Amino acid sequence: MSDIHADISDKSEAALGGQGTVRDYWTLLKPRVMSLVIFTALAGLVAAPGVIHPWLAAVALLAIAVGAGASGALNMWYDADIDALMARTANRPVPRGAILPGEALGFGMALAVGSVLVLGLLVNIVAAALLAFTIFFYAVIYTMWLKRSTPQNIVIGGAAGAFPPMIGWAAATGSVSLASIALFLIIFMWTPPHFWALALFREGDYARAGVPMMPNVAGARETRKQILLYSLILVPITFLPSLLGTTGMLYTVVTAGLGVAFIWHAVDVYRITEGDAARRACRRLFGFSILYLFALFALIIAERILGLAPFAPVFG
Amino acid sequence: MSQTMDQRPFSPEDMSRRRKRSIALALVLAGLVVLFFVTTIVRLGGEVALRNF
């Protein structure tokens, strides 16, 4: 990897460094991923039974967002070689030469340390420890190890994306509970069908970069079966928050409807295997999966705002 | 290193990018000052002046 990074540095017109714009550095933070992290962390924070001052809640969300951004920067530092080979990622600041790998590494490390310190000093140590573990898990376990070595990369690596609601919960309560683990499990089980649907219609990209995604290792047929299996496990898990008393009737009823639709889309992906129709089915599942996760966590937040959730208001 | 620097002086575009990065960094640092100040007030609470020494 270091050779490839050296190659990127040499080819770059920015051999001296210091060429990146503010926008380039902003791109390193993966702002779209960061916005989803903020949203799910907010859901964890408001769903928790603890009481937290609104200002401290905002500080917690900021630290979690910056920590997620740090993970993104470290990921872009390490993955610059394979990012350069994929159409979706070739224009990122490091493969484009706007930011040197060392600059991305320094930026990511500074934000990682800073976000964990801020969360630990200003909110609580449990949330900070979880954030530190999440950054480590995404940057080291997923990016440096699993992503290039196993088609199960998304399954295990998905844990990194599933931690934010637990961190939000810990920020409000100072602890980890079964209910916060349930929120973790929802995102954890949602990640494989979401990314494998993407991998099915982006198979060429991943194969070119040598990333062992499920479709180019186990084949499209096995991937479709796995998508259906994970979807069938995911949907019952989305009811755990209701069983544990975190969410109310609104969440339960709407989630039931959305779950049926999710399985319907997964069955379509499993059933339709040829031609444009198959690609469309994968795109539909991919698109719906984003809406699905957003809706679930929006319902958790909405129930709390509307006073429909079992617990008392979180801000105080 | 110094030879390389001499060969590639900073262009006006480089200087403009550097200036914008410096402004962004200054804003972030100012934001951190506000963040720590307000958080300190919030965490200490209104009764900080009433404590026994």
ipTM: 0.75
A180-232, pLDDT tens digit by residue? 999 999 999 999 999 999 989 877 778 888 888 888 888 999 999 999 999 99
- Pairwise CB contact (< 8 Å): B21 & A21: yes
Q: Which two tokens stand for residue A250?
A: 């609104």
Q: Is residue A46 part of a domain?
A: yes
Instruction: List the domain range (segments joined by +) for residue A42.
Output: 21-305
Q: Is residue A220 part of a domain?
A: yes
Tell me which residues of chain B, numbers 21 to 50, contact chain A at a CB-CB cutoff of 8 Å.
Answer: 21, 24, 35-36, 38-39, 42-43
Q: Is residue A187 part of a domain?
A: yes
Instruction: Spell out the per-residue pLDDT of chain A, length 316, in tens.
Output: 445 454 554 544 445 677 889 999 999 999 999 999 999 999 999 999 878 999 999 999 999 999 999 999 999 999 999 999 988 889 999 999 999 999 999 999 999 999 999 999 999 999 999 999 999 999 999 999 999 988 888 888 889 999 999 999 999 999 999 999 999 999 999 999 999 999 898 777 788 888 888 888 889 999 999 999 999 999 999 999 999 989 999 999 999 999 999 999 999 999 998 888 999 999 999 999 999 999 999 999 999 888 877 765 455 4
Q: Is residue A313 part of a domain?
A: no
Q: How many domains does chain A have?
A: 1
* Residue A193 DSSP one-character state: H
**In A79-137, where does DSSP find H-type helix?**
80-83, 93-96, 101-122, 125-136
Domain CATH for A231: 1.10.600
A112-126, pLDDT tens digit by residue? 999 999 999 999 999
Q: Is residue A152 part of a domain?
A: yes
B18/A contact by beta carbon, under 8 A: yes
- Pairwise CB contact (< 8 Å): B5 & A16: yes
Q: Is residue A111 part of a domain?
A: yes
H, E, C per residue of A212-263: CCHHHHHCHHHHHHHHHHHHHHHHHHCCHHHHCCCCCHHHHHHHHHHHHHHH
Question: What is the pTM (predicted TM-score) of this model?
Answer: 0.86
Q: Is residue A221 part of a domain?
A: yes
Q: How far apart are CA A37 and CA A299, in angstroms?
A: 16
